[in-house]
Amino acid sequence: MEHHSILRVVSKLLIPPILLYALYVQFHGEYGPGGGFQAGVIFAVAFILYALVFGIEAMTEILPPRLLLILSATGVLIFAGTGVVTMLLGDAYLGYNALAADPPHAQEWGIVIVEIGVGMTVAAVMMAIFVAFASHNPPIKDEDW
Amino acid sequence: MSAGLIGIAIIDILLFLFLVLIAITIARLRNLFAIAMLAGVFSLLSAGLFVTLDAMDVAFTEAAVGAGISTVLMLGTLALTVREEKPVTHSPFLPLLVCAITGAALIYGTLDMPPFGAADNPVQTHVAPYYLEQTPVEIGIPNAVAAVLASYRGFDTLGEVVVVFTAAIAVLLLLGGGGRSGRHDNVAGERKKD
């Protein structure tokens, strides 16, 4: 896709705001619509757009499939591990009140932490599935579309 | 009925009309590329319906997952297979009959449902008032959806995240983990034979 200069320029302009927006959705989820699921998908979309325009190898250089697998498992472990930590601190599994002295503060901590786990898993899973599909495909010739 | 409600009703009718038109078009088309794109449009219109229901979080998810990622993954799958659906050889009457009976049963089922949006519906009187009243007190965040999702229903969300993770494991097992060049050549060879 070397000669598609409009696509290359526009996607280069778009990718940083998409990543920034994903982070906004992730960390603003307690105040507005959004949260880990949506943020993870938007984050993954930025990298998928990069891979579509600049080739799948350019993306796997930054994020090798093995790293994506590790990240997706890490997200689940962050979520599940938060529950173990609250149990060790003397509350129920995922009972966030044990995380800080006053309950609303502790709840917010718990929600932010597990949403990070959700976002990490969703983003890594979406990218891993895309890479699994795309790296089997021969590059699509322009006349095929 | 206020002007706002009439406006929402008109938008709802238009959105449903487009959904039905797209569904019929998808059923009649044979070009899988066009079908994948129309499925994305279908998701985006569903997201619009969720907006009119004030379900912003669901609309957001539908737009990002249904219209965004699903379409890309569908196109990725298309590139691995053929571009045209095989012509139907069997008679369409039995599937049509099954669809008609199922649809009639579903519509019959909705007749017993409480009126849409009424304040004394079971969904409004069960745990929802507790969540809405106690979220500012117990959780201290403005978005009640996030409070229910991550705290009150934290177990469910943990299950969902595990499901997403399992989906990735399943796809990677089926497709061989991605980044293997050997399979890549095979697929390219098979495509040339077509």
Share above pLDDT 90 across residues of chain A, in percent, rounded to a whole number: 47
Q: Report the pLDDT value the prediction gives residue B183, as an integer from 0 to 100.
A: 44
CATH number at residue B34: 1.20.120.1200
Backbone angles phi, psi at B31, to 5 degrees: -80, 115
Asked if the Cβ–Cβ distance from B188 to A138 is below 8 Å, we say: yes
| pTM attached to this predicted model | 0.83
State the Cα–Cα distance between residues A112 and A43, nearest whole angstrom. Answer: 17
- Side chain identity at residue A19, one-letter code: L
Final residue in a domain of this structure, among B85, B103, B126? B85
Work out the minimum CA distance from A100 to partner chain B, whole angstroms. Answer: 12
**Helix extents (H) in B1-117:** 3-28, 32-52, 56-61, 70-80, 93-110
Q: Report the pLDDT value the prediction gives residue B188, as an integer from 0 to 100.
A: 44
A139 confidence band (pLDDT: 50, 70, 90): low
Tokens describing residue B132: 């809405």
Q: Report the pLDDT value the prediction gives residue B193, as an integer from 0 to 100.
A: 42
Per the domain annotation, does B165 fall within a domain? yes
Q: What is the ipTM of this complex?
A: 0.86
Chain A stretch 21-80, residues whose beta carbon is closer than 8 A to a beta carbon of chain B = 25, 29-35, 37-38, 41-42, 44-45, 48, 52, 60, 64-65, 69, 72-73, 75-76, 79-80
Domain ranges of chain A: 5-140
A138 confidence band (pLDDT: 50, 70, 90): low
B84 strand-pairing partners:
B31
Per the domain annotation, does B138 fall within a domain? no
Range A108-128 average pLDDT: 92
CB under 8 Å to B11, separation ≥6 — which residues?
B48, B52
Mean pLDDT computed over every residue of chain A: 87
Per the domain annotation, does B46 fall within a domain? yes
Per the domain annotation, does B123 fall within a domain? no
Question: Which residue range forms the structural domain that includes residue B113?
Answer: 93-117
Domain count, chain B: 3
Range A62-75 average pLDDT: 92
Is the same domain home to B108 and B174? no
Q: Report the pLDDT value the prediction gives residue A142, as an integer from 0 to 100.
A: 57
Q: Which residue has 């599909």 as its token pair?
A: A133
Measured between CA atoms, the residue of chain A closest to residue B186 is A136
CB under 8 Å to A46, separation ≥6 — which residues?
A15, A18, A19, A22
Backbone angles phi, psi at A55, to 5 degrees: 100, 150
Question: How many interchain CB pairs under 8 A, A with B?
Answer: 172
Per the domain annotation, does B103 fall within a domain? yes
Asked if the Cβ–Cβ distance from A136 to B60 is below 8 Å, we say: no
Environment class of B19 (CB within 10 Å of its CB; exposed 0-12, middle 13-18, buried 19+): middle
| Residues A78-96 pLDDT 10s | 999 999 999 998 888 888 8
Q: Which residue has 């004394």 as its token pair?
A: B120
- CA atoms lying within 13 Å on the CB side of residue B116: 4
Asked if the Cβ–Cβ distance from A134 to B151 is below 8 Å, we say: no
Among the partner-chain residues B138, B147, B175, the one whose CB lies closest to the CB of A103 is B138
A35 confidence band (pLDDT: 50, 70, 90): confident
Per the domain annotation, does B113 fall within a domain? yes
Give, for all 194 residues of chain B, the pLDDT tens digit: 688 888 888 999 999 999 999 999 998 898 999 999 999 999 999 999 999 988 888 999 899 888 888 998 888 888 888 888 888 788 888 999 999 999 999 999 999 888 887 888 888 888 888 888 888 888 888 888 888 888 888 899 999 999 999 998 998 888 876 444 444 444 444 444 44
Per the domain annotation, does B134 fall within a domain? no
